């Protein structure tokens, strides 16, 4: 198995194998009239300016619900009541994936939220007299901490896995440096265009990030240096005309998809011996945690990461325990070693040789 960065020789692009397009299996619920209402709702969402990615997610959630309704003979919005929606919610709770695991509560919520929006639109459009989803209670999503945050040494070891003697290795190094320096999400980095990088300002413009919000993030000197080398030396060799302007290109001269980008980062993690699950988001967590430990204000980290709510950023105050450990070591009374000159700080130790009943310890402290 080749090391990362050794697949691509200079001036030689891989020819992508073209496989015939997969024909999707026919949908047994295609004739259900609920699809027409769903299509009208999705068209309204586009007209109102919702992002296409969000519309696609709504479409998937509604199709899944309509297939469930079709199996039970439901074909009209008026036939769907709150008990039916609650029954569907219980169905999602009982669903098991291919590996036998249940759907995460975040996944269940992602499938139920579009239903609330759809029935709200159906009621406002006079397709139903009442909104059965108005009182549907969504499952609570637990606030989980990252399983593991990479240390600075681990990040350096990871980044150094890219073989910069080959042009694809230089590209991979630029991607890893950019992810760690800016804390961008996987899709945000894949969507970067050449004009989104301002060399003069030393910043990247993130357009239509999560929630459809734009922001400008700074990029560190080391990451900017590798990005400059990639843009000047490597990208011209990877680009295939007509150039669509994507900043980072694959070995085939195409823009990175989110899965391909995650696979590339995961491959470097494997070579670094880091077995922690995840890929691009590990570098996002590391960026925020390391900056917080070095004294960055949490409001700045919120702006850097593009969080709409400060509560999303405060998770890193729980992950970062460096400062807490320092304060704990300085203030907690149960320390291993103490100041010899302060008798008042001596603590009785029944396991120490020479301790009497009163807790006094004979011998040197």
Report, as residue numbers or ranges, the catalytic residues: 185, 210, 281, 284, 307, 316
Let me know if 114 is exposed, middle or buried by CB neighbors in 10 A (0-12, 13-18, 19+): buried
Which residues in 304-320 are b (16+ Cβ under 10 Å) and which e? bbbbeeeeebebbeebb
Rounded to an integer, what distance in angstroms lies between the CA atom of residue 347 and that of residue 340?
Answer: 12
Cβ contact 59:42 at 8 Å: yes
Which H/E stretch holds residue 258?
helix 258-271
Rounded to an integer, what distance in angstroms lies between the CA atom of residue 346 and that of residue 325?
Answer: 22
SS3 state at 330: helix
Rounded to an integer, what distance in angstroms lies between the CA atom of residue 212 and that of residue 104?
Answer: 25
Cβ contact 147:127 at 8 Å: no
Rounded to an integer, what distance in angstroms lies between the CA atom of residue 57 and that of residue 187?
Answer: 15
Strand partners, 218: 203
Rounded to an integer, what distance in angstroms lies between the CA atom of residue 224 and that of residue 291?
Answer: 18
Rounded to an integer, what distance in angstroms lies between the CA atom of residue 234 and that of residue 171?
Answer: 7
Rounded to an integer, what distance in angstroms lies between the CA atom of residue 93 and that of residue 115?
Answer: 16
Q: Which long-range contacts (CB under 8 A, 24 or more apart) does 124-128 make?
A: 125/40, 127/37, 127/77, 128/77, 128/78
Rounded to an integer, what distance in angstroms lies between the CA atom of residue 23 and that of residue 178?
Answer: 38
């Amino acid at each position: 198995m080749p090391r990362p960065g050794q697949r691509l020789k200079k001036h030689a692009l891989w020819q992508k194998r073209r496989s015939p397009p997969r024909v999707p299996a026919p949908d047994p619920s295609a004739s259900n009239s609920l699809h027409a209402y769903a299509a009208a709702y999705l068209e309204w969402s586009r007209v109102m300016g919702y992002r296409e990615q969000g519309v696609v997610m709504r479409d998937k959630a509604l199709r899944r619900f309509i297939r469930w309704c079709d199996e039970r003979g439901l074909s009209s919005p008026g036939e769907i009541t709150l008990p039916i929606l609650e029954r569907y919610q219980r169905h999602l709770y009982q669903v098991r994936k291919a590996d036998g695991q249940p759907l995460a509560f975040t996944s269940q919520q992602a499938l139920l939220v579009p239903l609330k929006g759809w029935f709200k639109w159906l009621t406002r459009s006079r397709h139903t007299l009442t909104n059965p989803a108005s009182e549907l209670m969504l499952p609570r999503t637990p606030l989980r901490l990252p399983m593991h945050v990479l240390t600075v040494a681990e990040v350096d070891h990871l980044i150094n896995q890219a073989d910069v003697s080959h042009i694809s290795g230089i590209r991979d190094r630029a991607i890893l440096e950019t992810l760690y320096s800016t804390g961008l999400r996987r899709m945000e980095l894949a969507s970067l265009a050449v004009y989104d990088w301002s060399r003069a300002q030393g910043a990247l413009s993130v357009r239509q990030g999560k929630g459809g919000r734009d922001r400008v993030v700074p990029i560190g000197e080391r990451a900017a240096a590798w990005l400059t080398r990639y843009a000047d030396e490597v990208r011209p060799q990877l680009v295939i005309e007509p150039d669509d302007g994507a900043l980072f290109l694959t070995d085939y001269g195409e823009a990175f998809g989110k899965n391909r980008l995650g696979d590339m980062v995961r491959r470097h993690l494997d070579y670094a011996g880091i077995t922690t699950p995840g890929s691009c988001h590990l570098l996002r967590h590391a960026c925020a945690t390391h900056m917080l430990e070095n004294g960055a204000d949490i409001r700045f980290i919120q702006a850097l990461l593009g969080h709409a709510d400060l509560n999303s950023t405060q998770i890193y105050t729980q992950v970062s325990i460096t400062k807490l450990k320092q304060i704990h070591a300085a203030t907690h009374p149960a320390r291993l070693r103490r100041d010899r000159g302060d008798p008042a700080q001596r603590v009785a130790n029944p396991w120490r040789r020479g301790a009497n009943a009163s807790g006094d310890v004979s011998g040197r402290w």
